[in-house]
Every structure is written in C-alpha cells, then in structure tokens.
Chains A and B, each alone.
Chain A
Amino acid sequence: MRSRWLAVSSVLLCAALAARAETRPHYGGTLRVETQASIGTLPTPDAAGGSNALAGQIANLIYDPGRGDGKGPFRVAQFVPGKKLTLTANDEYPGGRPHLDAIEIQMARPVREQMLDLQLERADVVDLPPEMIRRATQQGVRLAQSQPVELIAIVFANDDPKLREALALSVDRAAIFNVLLGRQGEPTAALLPNWMTGYGFVFDAGQDIQRARQLRAESRRTQPLTLTYDPQDALARAIAERVALDARGAGLAITPTTSIASPDARLVRVLLPTHDPQAALAAVAAALGASAPKNDDVPEEWYAAERRLRDDLHVVPILHVPVAYGLGARVKGWAASKSGAWALDDVWLEQRP
C-alpha cells in the first residue's frame, strides 16, 4: 500500500516537475517585432508618454529614468532609420537582465505582410489594426489588446459650431463601431474614453439626422467640405467615406480626399499614452496643437476642461479604439497593458527543437 502511494507520488512529482520546466522562463532568443510605424531618429527619454506610439515603446525599452544610470533593460545595437532597430539585453539593468537576448524591430512593414510573417512564424509580434481584431480572433491569432486608447476624430480647420454639430449628429458611430471595427473600441463624442474618465457617456454620441439637417440649414456654408485622411490608413479611409455618406443624409456635402493642402477638416488618430485623464487630455491637446489644460483633481473640472478643449479645437470625436498586437506561439510572458505599451521585461521565448 505504501509502495503504491510512493509510486503515485513519484509519478505526480515527475509530472509536476515536467510541467514547471515547460512554463519556466528561459533566457535567450531574439524577439522579432514587426510594425507598420517607423522612426527616423532614436527617441529621447521624454518620448515615453508622447503621441508617437513607436517612439514611446522604444523609449520605454532603452530608458528607465527612475533606476540607476537611467538606462533601460535593452540597449541599441543597430539602427537603420525608418527600417530596422536591433536591441540587445542590458546585463547591468538594475531591474534585472531581461530574458530576451535581443529584439529586432522591422519598421514600415505593411500589415498584410506582418500577418503572413506571423502565420509563417517569421515574426513574433505584429501590429493588429483594430478593424482586424475580430477576424484575427476568429482565425485563432493570439492577441494582446489594450483598452480603447486611441481617439479617432474629425478636426475642423475653422469653427462653424452649427456645421460641426450637424456633422457630429449625422455620423452613425454605431454602424462604424459594429461593422468597420467589429465591435472593437467604443463610439464616443468625448476626447477621453469612458473607461478612463467615467463620464464619457455624458457626451452624446447618438445620431440625430433631423436635428443635423436643421443645424445644417442654419449654417451659412454652401460649399462642400473637404476631409483629409492618412492615405496609408485603411481604417481612416473607411471611416472618412462613411462619415461623408452619413453627412449627405443631413445635407452636408463632404469630399474625402488625401491630397489637399488646406482641408476644411482632418480625420486624425491620437494615441492616449497614459490612463491618467489629465495626462491623456494634455496629450490630446499637444497632438492637436493646443496647450494642456490646467491640472485639477476634481472630475467635474476634468469634464469642463475636456468640453472646452473639444470646442476650442473644433473636434468631433468618433471612436476610441484599442491597440492590439498579434503574438506568435513561442512568445511567453506577455503582460496585458491598458495602454497597449510593450511590457517585455518578463517576456521570454519558448525554446523549440
């Protein structure tokens, strides 16, 4: 009886040890990251928390102002501006050497090719645009997804409050959210997402064509509006065309375009690099060329500041969308982040024969 118990215990111990060996982090290996974005120069320490997402991610890897000499867990080994960046592990990092030996970042890589590389295991981490999250999920792709931290909005060059309000009321944000984004993110009329502030729902994001027509009729403008978007951004193009279609129902003529120097309006995407509402609002202001609002600890003041900023900058918020990455099967230890920042300290690569 005792021998049987020992035998069973031995088997269980062996099985437990075997299981621990599979999940235990390994040192070594190169993480292959592909991204659609690119940088021309190496980022400075203050790029962390800025509106340039890639620069902020890299700054977080190579700088750590709060520890030791201020250097981060990785060092720059090779940099080809706009194309490739290679980082190696910093053995002297006060927080401990990362598990990864190196990180290779391929920049300016088209999304379609990134997905192919991920499927062919030629890449470990790839960008996953929000409109592709739903399909990628269905295809079984591993995802790392943030909270909705990217604002998609229309910014008018000159303010015509009635015209701006007419456009805001004419856009069917729900259709864009449901169809174009596959229910990823959230429709919004606020600059900051609801999960961040808690009062985002106060800004009405509903569609009211009748009111939009009435406001359009009261506006003095008679010429069509031009709306520009990033020609490389498929989602921006789809949203711009949908906005133009919806606006037509309210009697607003909008011409989406990518090639005009002084448009009447721009479709912009602003990354909120932090989940702190005041910092996020300051980032939005900076991204849209305005000064940061005064800091205040009272949520009511945040709300007032956000409303003022929205009106001052002539912004019509459309959506907040998440940041997502596709992860390869050998990537282990990827920690979920609200803001979508890369957390590679604990990431390790599964060793495969």
Chain B
Amino acid sequence: MSFRRRLLLLVTLVLFLAVGGVSAVVWSIVRRSFERAERERTAALVAQFQKEFERRGSEVAERVAGIATSESVNRMALEFSRAPDYSLYVNEAQPAAATHQLDFLEFVTADGTIISSAQWPARFGYKEAATAEAGRAPFLKREELPSGWALGVFSVQEVKVGDQPLFVVGGTRIDDEFLKTLVLPAGMRTKLVRMGPAHLEPISEPQQRAQVPPAQVKEAELLLRVLRERKPVTDVIEPSSDPAEGETVHAIPLTGADGDVLGVLFVANSRRAYVDLERHIGSAALVAAGLGILLAIVVSGWAAGRVTRPVEQVAEAAREVAAGHWDTQVAVTSHDDIGELAENFNRMTRELVGQRDRALQAERVAAWRELARRLAHELKNPLFPLQITIENLTRARQQSPEQFDEVFRESTTTLLAELSNLKEIIGRFSDFSKMPQPHFQPVDVNELVRRGLKIFEAQFRAAGHPQIEARMEADETLPRIAADPELLHRALSNLILNAMDAMPSGGMLTLRTRQDESNAILEVSDSGSGLTAEECERLFTPYYTSKQHGTGLGLAIVQSVVTDHKGRIAVESAPGKGTTFRIELPKSSEYRVGISE
C-alpha cells in the first residue's frame, strides 16, 4: 500500500473516529437528557395521580361520613340493635349511593355481613373484609362486580348507635374516567390495569404468543414483573418495526391497604421525539463523516504532495533505472531526509552509469580479445599451409627447377584451396555481424517445423552418413504467432545442424511443439552424448564451441533471433542423456498488434 493511501486511510480513520466519538457523546447526552425529562414527567404524573387519588379519597370519606351520620342510617343501626331484620334494608344502599354520588356503597354488620350493596344488590349475606379499615385514611380497594373487577378509592365509617356497630363502606371508581382527569403532557398516555385475585398468566405458549401482538406480549411481561417485584419497572415497547412508534412504559404498582398489588398504572411516554432527534443526530453525523472523508482526501492529497511526491519521484526514477535508464536523475527539492534520499539516488545512478560504462568497455575489450583469439585461431590454420606451400615453391625453385612446374601447379591448387577456406571464415563472421531486424508476420510454427525437417530429410538418410531418425510431435491447436519466418527457420536450421553434429553415430531427432498460457514452445531434442553443466552455461557465448571445426556462432545466432522475437531459449542436457533446446515465443495479443503495424 502506498504512503499516500496509508496517509489517506489514517486521516480518514482519525476524522471518522472523531466524528463518531462526538456523535456518541452527543447521543449519550441527549439520551440522558431525555431519560431525565421522562423520569421527571412520569414522577410529576404519578404525583398528580396520587394527589387526585387523595382528593377523591377525601371526597369519599366526607360522603361516607355523611351517610354514616344520616338519620336513616342511624335508625337502621338502631333497628339492628333491637331485632335485626336485614331484609327490610336490602335495597337501602342504592338510593343512598345515588344521593351521595358514590359508585360503591355497602352497609355491613359487625361480623362483616353485607346487608345491602349498591354496586351488586345480590351480594347481601356475603362477607366484606374492609370493615377492618374503619376510621382509617381512604384506601385503594378491589371490588368484585357482576361484570368483573373494579378498582376504587374507599372509606369505611363505623356507626355506633346501638349495641352492634354498623359499617358504611363507600367508594368511587378509579378507572379510565379517573385517568381522564389527569393533565397529560403531549406524547404521554396512561392506562390502568385492574388485577383480579388470580393474576394474569404469562403468555408463554408459542401459539399463544403468535396470536397476540408483540407489544401486548411485552406489556403482559411488564405486568408480571411488577407483580413479582412489587415495585415500578420500566421498559421500551415497540408495537412495530418503526422505533418512533415505540414508547417508554413505566409500570407502577397500585397497592391496597394490605399491600397487595390491586392494579398497575401504566405511564407511557412516546419515543418519537427522542427517535427523531436521534435520527437527526445520526444524519448530521453521517454528513459530518462524509465531509470528513472529503476533507481527509483533500488533506491527505495536500500532505502527500508535500511529503510523498519526492518519494514517488525517487520510486519512479528507480523504476526507470530498472528499465535500463541508468542515467535517470531526480530533482532535489528540499534539504531534509527526502532531499538527502534524492541526492543519494542521483549519486547511485551516476555510480551505476560509470560502472556500466566501465563494464561495457571491459566487455568490449574482452570481446575483441576473444575475437582476436578466434581470428588468430581460425586464420592460423589456413596460413600455416600457405606458408609451407610458399616455402616449398621457393625451395623447389632453388633446388629442383625441373620439378618447379609440377610443384607450382600443386602449390597453387593448395594456395587457392586455403584462400577459399579463409574467405569462408571471413564470410561467416560477416554474416553474424549483419544479423537483420525481424519482419513480423503470422507464422504457423508447426508448418515452419515441418518445412525445416523436410529440407534436412535428405541429409538424415544420405548414404555413408550415420542414419538419423527424425520425428515431430506437434500441438495442432497451437495458434499462429507473430514472427519472422526466415529468421526462425535459420534458428531452427542451426539447432537441427547442431543436433546432427551431436549424433555422429546416428540417433533420434525429435521436434516438439506445444504451448502454455502465454507462449508457443518449440523443443529440439537429440539423443546424442549430451553436455556437461559447464558446457550448458557457456553454450550461447559467441565464438564458444565444443566442436573441432565450429565457429561458436551458431547458437549465438539462435539466441539473437529468439531475443529479437522477445522470446527465451533454454537448454536441458546431461552427459549420456541427449540435449533438448527449448524456445519460448510469446503468443500475446499485445505482441500481435505489432503484426498489423
């Protein structure tokens, strides 16, 4: 990864973390603020509920006291002390309750027997336990009605007129109508759940859960928690997938005089405002993060311009050097570490160029020496017979003039032959020096190989010559490649000649074509005596030969042709196991473009 990218990532990460951190802090503050406000609102509502409950309780106590002190009730109590006939008073509670605006009113004897009940007239004769609360403050009580259970604030007054006390138990409902008297802030709602003696069962069966909306299941669970813990609990209930429709629900237990949970007051605060604000914060954070990323790009670009451009220039210069442009220099724009790096790079390239020049010079000298050595060797052989022949001619002129003509004729023949030999040697050197540039055109390698084999077919079977069996293993799917057919034929001929020289006693010559992903491959194998590892290393050196009469130019020419085709040549050989030359020529489309050009 480049320094520029690393710097970009680093700056982006820092900005992202900064934005994320600020958002998280803002989020946290907002959430706490909302929670605090919500708690305060809930507490205010609960206080309002309690105040209203106490007010209702006071009203009930006054009304019940009014009934207890009324003449009719006192007369009733007096009658009970004499000869109680409860049947005469079974319907007394209803008109009294209506007169005093009470939802519940019962006249109860000392033993707790209901004489008359306004809320359920049929309950005469049943027991009422609330008489124990006589004279105490108004309290919450659960009342059974024909239609179910009701909650009410009750007061109990004792009428002591005769021998036996009479109790007046009265109350008013605590229900949804009661809740409507509460002043609710926007987004808040209340709900009262009355509890019967048998509490709700948890909704646990999967089928049952499936039939009940999730919000209702959650509410039921909240209710159970309140009943279990007997203290207020809070939870978030979301009726749908939209969090804005969710509510923070406070469930507050309402207990009776004996401490039993008789009802649960649900105070639900809408989370819409909080969720909306949360979304706004999220959107703002996203925008800030986006701007931060843009800023990071700009900052990192500017920083990279300042810091990484010289480094990139050095890196580009290094690539140039690697490509062969050893004289590449970079501009030194600063005096810091980067500037020192640039200066050192320039010094390095200067050294490289100097060393290359020196190496070239040494190589050139070595080549000349080798050429001189080869020339001396090649020329010495024909020159020695020339010298001997000329000395024979001189000696024959001086010692036996009568035989001079005969000697002269023979000597001139020898001289001409040796001169011809010299000419041939000079021609070979001339050919090597005049290797032409390839002219690319589509070439069928298989066809080229077949043609080469055909040319040499006669030599393979020539009489008096060791027999060579030639065969071809062609990959017929090999595509045409871009090549110079003449140069390629020349290289192939050299390899075939080389193989023939390597098999003086005859053998097997195999020409094989195949391909890999990017190259067409041509292999020429012989079954000769093979080469040593040292011979393999020096094989392509010009003028090197392992043969008695070779010039050492054949394989050099092959390598030159392959290199001009952007290809590669390799040799695999071992003593006694023959030799295989492998030529790889590119078949890439990029190179084929050169064909049309």
Interface residues of A (CB under 8 A from B): 134-135, 138, 172, 175, 178-183, 238, 241-242, 244-245, 256
Identify 9 new A-B residue pairs, CB closer than 8 A, beyond the known A181-B87, A245-B120, A256-B146. A134-B85, A134-B87, A175-B125, A179-B124, A179-B125, A180-B87, A182-B85, A238-B122, A245-B123
Question: CB-CB contacts of B116-158 with A at 8 A, as 1s and 0s?
Answer: 0000111111100000000000000000001000000000000
Contact B87 A182 (CB under 8 A): yes
Contact B146 A178 (CB under 8 A): no
Contact B90 A180 (CB under 8 A): yes
Query: Which of A135, A172, A238 touches B121 (beta carbons < 8 Å)?
Result: A238
Q: How many Å from the CB of B476 to the closest CB on chain A?
A: 89
Chain B residues in 8 Å Cβ range of A242: 122
In the assembled complex, B86 has its CB within 8 A of some CB on chain A: yes
Chain A residues in 8 Å Cβ range of B86: 178-179
Closest 9 CB pairs of A and B: A241-B122, A242-B122, A182-B87, A175-B125, A179-B87, A245-B122, A179-B124, A179-B90, A178-B87
- In the complex, A178 Cα to B113 Cα: how many Å? 14
In the assembled complex, B88 has its CB within 8 A of some CB on chain A: yes
The count of A-to-B residue pairs whose CB atoms sit within 8 angstroms is 37
Chain B residues in 8 Å Cβ range of A182: 85, 87-88
- In the complex, A175 Cα to B87 Cα: how many Å? 9
27 A-B contacts, Cβ less than 8 Å apart? A134-B85, A134-B88, A135-B88, A138-B88, A172-B125, A175-B124, A175-B125, A178-B86, A178-B87, A179-B86, A179-B87, A179-B124, A180-B87, A180-B90, A181-B87, A182-B85, A182-B87, A183-B87, A238-B122, A241-B120, A241-B121, A241-B146, A242-B122, A244-B146, A245-B120, A245-B123, A245-B126
**Chain B residue with Cβ nearest A249:** B126
**Chain B residue with Cβ nearest A138:** B88
Say which size band chain B's interface belongs to: 10 to 19
**Which of A135, A182, A245, A256 is the most central at the interface, judged by chain B CB atoms within 10 Å of its CB?**
A245
Chain A residues in 8 Å Cβ range of B146: 241, 244-245, 256
Chain B residues in 8 Å Cβ range of A180: 87, 90
**Chain A residue with Cβ nearest B144:** A248
Interface residues of B (CB under 8 A from A): 85-88, 90, 120-126, 146
Chain A residues in 8 Å Cβ range of B88: 134-135, 138, 182
Chain B residues in 8 Å Cβ range of A241: 120-122, 146
- In the complex, A245 Cα to B120 Cα: how many Å? 9
Q: How many Å from the CB of A221 to the closest CB on chain B?
A: 20
- In the complex, A243 Cα to B124 Cα: how many Å? 12
Q: How many Å from the CB of B501 to the closest CB on chain A?
A: 113
Chain B residues in 8 Å Cβ range of A172: 125
Chain A residues in 8 Å Cβ range of B124: 175, 179
- In the complex, A244 Cα to B126 Cα: how many Å? 13
- In the complex, A244 Cα to B120 Cα: how many Å? 11
Q: How many Å from the CB of B109 to the closest CB on chain A?
A: 13
- In the complex, A245 Cα to B145 Cα: how many Å? 10
**Chain A residue with Cβ nearest B120:** A245
Q: How many Å from the CB of A25 to the closest CB on chain B?
A: 37
Q: How many Å from the CB of B79 to the closest CB on chain A?
A: 11
Q: How many Å from the CB of B78 to the closest CB on chain A?
A: 15
**Chain A residue with Cβ nearest B126:** A245
- In the complex, A256 Cα to B122 Cα: how many Å? 12
- In the complex, A178 Cα to B88 Cα: how many Å? 10
Chain A residues in 8 Å Cβ range of B120: 241, 245
- In the complex, A238 Cα to B116 Cα: how many Å? 12
**Chain B residue with Cβ nearest A179:** B87
- In the complex, A144 Cα to B120 Cα: how many Å? 32
Q: How many Å from the CB of A350 to the closest CB on chain B?
A: 31
- In the complex, A283 Cα to B221 Cα: how many Å? 59
Chain B residues in 8 Å Cβ range of A183: 87
- In the complex, A181 Cα to B123 Cα: how many Å? 15
- In the complex, A309 Cα to B316 Cα: how many Å? 118
Chain B residues in 8 Å Cβ range of A178: 86-87
**Which of B90, B122, B124 is the most central at the interface, judged by chain A CB atoms within 10 Å of its CB?**
B122
Chain A residues in 8 Å Cβ range of B125: 172, 175, 179
- In the complex, A175 Cα to B114 Cα: how many Å? 12
Chain B residues in 8 Å Cβ range of A256: 146
Q: How many Å from the CB of A110 to the closest CB on chain B?
A: 17
- In the complex, A138 Cα to B121 Cα: how many Å? 22
Contact A244 B87 (CB under 8 A): no
Q: How many Å from the CB of B119 to the closest CB on chain A?
A: 12
Q: How many Å from the CB of B92 to the closest CB on chain A?
A: 12
- In the complex, A256 Cα to B85 Cα: how many Å? 27
Chain A residues in 8 Å Cβ range of B90: 179-180
- In the complex, A175 Cα to B117 Cα: how many Å? 14
**Chain B residue with Cβ nearest A243:** B122
Q: How many Å from the CB of B86 to the closest CB on chain A?
A: 6
**Chain B residue with Cβ nearest A182:** B87
**Chain A residue with Cβ nearest B116:** A179
Chain A residues in 8 Å Cβ range of B121: 238, 241
